[in-house]
């Protein structure tokens, strides 16, 4: 099963909870995970609601008032000690680790010293653990999302008045396609941004699927500009031959300042490209140049094409339909040097074939720990390969550890 999130009205933890429940995830599944936390009693309730005539489900978190200020170390210890399923525990740890790093960069303090304020409160803990548990319950093969509306203007937070989009939200969504949207208010919360950054595998328009269920999560506000909802569309992918259709866009460019190319590639990835790369070539009259190649889904072609024309000097593009076969990918995290590093696990038929660590996580951890990046990379790679051993060609029995996956991802089954 695959799923698509419509984030044209932004996102928050309660909106995502509502979409999950409206799509058929039992409220008891979310409540059981939240009740496992060693904190004051927190309960969920679900009620029908509507925005602009569009019906859905509003999930409300009921938590007692608390003035507890939790650091990332406090939250990590709380989640690590809770009797949660491994996928839920590690998924929630991944979300809060992202929040800690983003808040640390915004406030220029080490992630370990971040006091979460709003996002360390009981309702945020419930949002994160509940959404992670709900996605794990769906056991999705793939979670796709539209670009996220973030809002505009300003808002008052724990540190005073901050601009919208919030600084932490922008840090969390680096590399993700976003837009302001029509509402001059916060449309995407830090908790919502962290959940999406940790959960979504691809960013594009609605992918090809046979729709089975639709869940509508209702937000707390009711702006005049648009219905304040998150839609979750569940279905089966179309064309089940294992080879997904994709498009390669190409252009030969000989008149662009080479210092601009890194920004061009970043912009293409943010626009929804699956990959983008440059190949040095020699054109007529001996002119040095580059071939720009961009791989994307058919749904993202228009947006990617517009980005190429906006950011480069080319006046034409070649469009090449290609087949694409991808290994099953799940994400997890490992603890190393007092922090957590994201891990990508690639498998086929339940056999782990490749394990890689997230370099940006490693670089951030190296800065926080005060060690060279190469040492942090070596330690993280060793920890990842130990946790998820790669199957050898002569393996007769699959031996990978079941990876604690990103919310919604399917762990490789035991061999």
Dihedral angle, C-alpha 302, 303, 304, 309, nearest 10 °: 90
Name the CATH code of domain 244-324 (choices 3.30.70.1380, 2.40.110.10, 3.30.70.100, 3.30.465.10): 3.30.70.1380
Three-class secondary structure of residue 41 per DSSP: coil
Chain segment 257-308, per-residue pLDDT in tens: 999 999 999 999 999 999 999 999 999 888 999 999 999 988 788 899 999 9
Angstrom distance (rounded) from CA 214 to CA 4:
10
Given this model, what pLDDT does residue 175 score?
81
| Band of residue 117 on the pLDDT scale cut at 50, 70, 90 | low
Q: Give residue 231's pLDDT band: very low, low, confident or very high (50, 70, 90).
A: very high
User: What is the rounded average pLDDT of the residues 110-115?
Assistant: 68
User: What's the pLDDT band for 243 if we cut at 50, 70, 90?
Assistant: very low
Listed range (79-88, 119-128, 287-296, 378-387) with the worst mean pLDDT: 119-128
Task: Please count the CA atoms within 13 angstroms of the CA of 37 that sit on its side-chain side.
Answer: 31
Task: Render pLDDT for 177-219 as a digit per residue (tens, 0 to 9).
Answer: 899 999 999 999 999 999 999 999 888 888 888 899 999 999 9
pLDDT at 244: 55
Q: What is the mean pLDDT of the chain?
A: 87
20-37: pLDDT as tens digits: 999 999 999 999 999 999
Tens digit of each residue's pLDDT (9 = 90 or more) over 157-179:
666 788 999 888 999 998 888 99
d(CA 325, CA 51): 40
What are the structural domain ranges in the chain? 2-237, 244-324, 328-415
Rounded CA-CA distance 350/369 in Å is 35
Looking at the predicted structure, is the pLDDT value of residue 335 above 70?
yes
The count of other CB atoms within 10 Å of the CB of residue 314 is 16
Compute CA distances 322 → 206, 245, 295, 302, whole Å: 20, 6, 9, 17
pLDDT at 379: 94
Which has the higher per-residue pLDDT, 103 or 133? 133
What is the band of 113 on the pLDDT scale with cuts at 50, 70, 90? low
Q: How confident is the model at residue 325 (pLDDT cuts 50, 70, 90)?
A: confident
pLDDT-derived band at 405 (thresholds 50, 70, 90) equals very low
Alpha-carbon distance 179 to 343, whole Å?
Answer: 28
CATH of domain 328-415: 3.10.20
Taking the C-alpha atoms of residue 62 and residue 238, their distance in angstroms, rounded to an integer, is: 40
321 or 131, which is more confident? 131
- Given a cut of 50, whether residue 411 has pLDDT beyond it is no
């Amino acid at each position: 099963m695959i799923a698509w999130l419509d984030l044209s009205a932004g996102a928050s933890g309660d909106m995502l909870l509502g979409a999950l429940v409206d799509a058929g995830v039992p409220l008891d599944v979310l409540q059981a995970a939240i009740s496992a936390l060693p904190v004051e009693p927190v309960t969920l309730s679900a009620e029908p609601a509507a925005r602009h005539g569009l019906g859905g489900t509003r999930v409300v978190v009921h938590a007692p008032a608390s003035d507890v200020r939790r650091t990332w170390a406090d939250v990590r210890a709380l989640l690590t000690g809770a009797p949660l399923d491994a996928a839920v525990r590690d998924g929630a740890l991944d979300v809060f680790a992202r929040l800690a790093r983003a808040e640390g960069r915004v406030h220029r303090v080490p992630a370990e010293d971040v006091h979460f304020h709003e996002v360390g409160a009981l309702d945020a803990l419930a949002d994160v653990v509940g959404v992670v548990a709900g996605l794990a319950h769906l056991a999705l093969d793939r979670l796709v999302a539209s670009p996220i509306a973030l809002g505009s203007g300003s808002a008052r937070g724990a540190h005073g008045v901050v601009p919208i989009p919030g600084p932490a939200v922008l840090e969390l969504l680096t590399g993700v396609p976003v837009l302001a949207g029509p509402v001059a208010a916060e449309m995407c919360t830090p908790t919502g941004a962290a959940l999406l950054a940790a959960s979504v595998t691809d960013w594009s328009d609605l992918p090809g699927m046979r729709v089975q269920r639709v869940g509508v999560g209702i937000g707390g506000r009711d702006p005049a500009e648009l219905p304040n909802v998150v839609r979750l569309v569940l279905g089966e992918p179309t064309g089940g031959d294992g080879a997904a259709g994709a498009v390669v866009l190409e252009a030969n460019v000989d008149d662009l300042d080479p210092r601009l190319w890194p920004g061009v590639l970043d912009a293409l990835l943010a626009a929804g490209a699956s990959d983008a790369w440059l190949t040095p070539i020699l054109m007529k009259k001996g002119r040095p140049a580059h071939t720009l190649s961009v791989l994307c889904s058919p749904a993202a072609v228009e947006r990617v094409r517009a980005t190429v024309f906006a950011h480069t000097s080319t006046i034409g593009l070649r469009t090449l339909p290609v087949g694409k076969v991808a290994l099953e990918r799940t994400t997890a995290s490992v603890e190393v040097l007092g922090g957590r590093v994201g891990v990508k696990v690639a498998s086929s038929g339940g056999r782990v074939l490749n394990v890689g660590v997230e370099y940006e996580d490693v670089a951030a951890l190296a800065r926080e720990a005060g060690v060279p990046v190469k040492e942090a990379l070596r330690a993280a790679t060793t920890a990842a390969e130990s946790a998820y051993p790669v199957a050898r060609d002569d393996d007769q029995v699959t031996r990978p550890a079941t990876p604690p996956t990103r919310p919604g991802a399917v762990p490789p089954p035991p061999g």
